[in-house]
Amino acid sequence: GRRPGPHSLLSPCQFLRRQQVLQLYRKILRALREVPAEADRRYLKDWAREEFRRNKDATEEDAIRMMITQGNMQLQELQRTLKLAKS
């Protein structure tokens, strides 16, 4: 359940999770800089921003952990695709 009160009161676990999410977000944006076509880059950036914004109020530990895992897999996929495109 949701506890009332300011969002700044994060448990240590939530704080760490939040750091992980922000780190993942930054990694994704960094990877997207490598996308050659500007239109694709902009589209993917908007998509990523939307995804993170849509899930930003998630409080369910397992759900968040799963999203982080999925995000990391998508990031690896993206990096692999970019590497192939370069070679």
Nearest Cα to 49, choosing from 80, 28, 76? 28
CB 44 within 8 A of CB 32: yes
Mean confidence (pLDDT) of the chain = 86
Domain count, the chain: 1
Instruction: State which residues form the domain around 31.
Output: 14-86
Q: What is the mean pLDDT of residues 58-62?
A: 82
Q: What percent of the chain has pLDDT over 90?
A: 43
Domain assignment present for residue 20? The answer is yes
Domain assignment present for residue 7? The answer is no
Nearest Cα to 39, choosing from 30, 27, 28, 47? 47
Domain assignment present for residue 41? The answer is yes
Q: What percent of the chain has pLDDT over 70?
A: 91
CB 39 within 8 A of CB 33: no
For the chain, what is the largest distance between any 2 Cα atoms, rounded to a whole number of angstroms?
A: 52
Domain assignment present for residue 1? The answer is no
Domain assignment present for residue 8? The answer is no
> What is the length of the chain?
87
Domain assignment present for residue 50? The answer is yes
pLDDT of residue 1: 59
Q: Is the dihedral of CA 15, 74, 52, 32 positive or negative?
A: positive
pLDDT band at 40 (very low <50, low <70, confident <90, very high): very high
Alpha helices in 33-60, H assignment, sequence order = 38-54
